[in-house]
Amino acid sequence: PCTQCNGIGQHNATKTLSVSIPAGVDNETQIRLSGEGGPGQLGQHNGDLYVALTVEQHKFFQRRNNDIILELEINISEAALGTTVMIPTIDDKQELRIPSGTQPGDILRLRGLGVPNVRNGKRGDQIVVTTVAIPKQTTSEQQRLLSELGNTFQHRAKPKEQTGDKGFFEQVRQILGM
């Protein structure tokens, strides 16, 4: 018998393969490499090799189907007065206009800036959820300015009446189709 295969006509070998990973794949996607698996028996063709993919969590983005969610923290002034900021997208950076009067939990949608669908290439959206950073520590000058500003508002702390409007999390669920 053959010393390499012990007479069975097969031997183990290590082989390096290049795998093309299409844009938009998600966790647990499997890519089949035909004929690259284990050897067939008694002259049959080699089996297929399946490569299971794991997509790492991104520092800023969360994925929901083909949509990308970005939580954007803005300060009190930016929320009240509005501003334009540069935000990351999966491709590059994009200018985003924050409208005046933006509330915590407001949702801004950038159409077509999400992940491409693996089958048809159509991209999802990038959904930006705003949070407003309230400073935990302020300088005496900031305290004076905030106090002065607060005195100009008619609104004072009071319980909010329930209007039947959808809450923040319900709005997010609706937008994401959950």
Q: State yes or no: pLDDT of 17 exceeds 80.
A: yes
The whole-number pLDDT of residue 38 equals: 80
Examine the pLDDT at 87 and tell me if it is beyond 70: yes
Model pLDDT for residues 104-125, shown as the tens digit of each residue: 999 999 999 999 998 898 999 9
Check residues 28 and 71 and name the one with the higher pLDDT: 71
pTM for the model: 0.72
Kindly indicate the confidence band of residue 46, based on its pLDDT and cuts at 50, 70 and 90. confident
* Domains of the chain, first to last: 1-55 (no CATH), 57-135 (2.60.260.20)
Q: Which residues, in sequence order, are CB contacts of 124 under 8 Å at separation 6+?
A: 65, 66, 67, 68, 114, 115, 116, 117
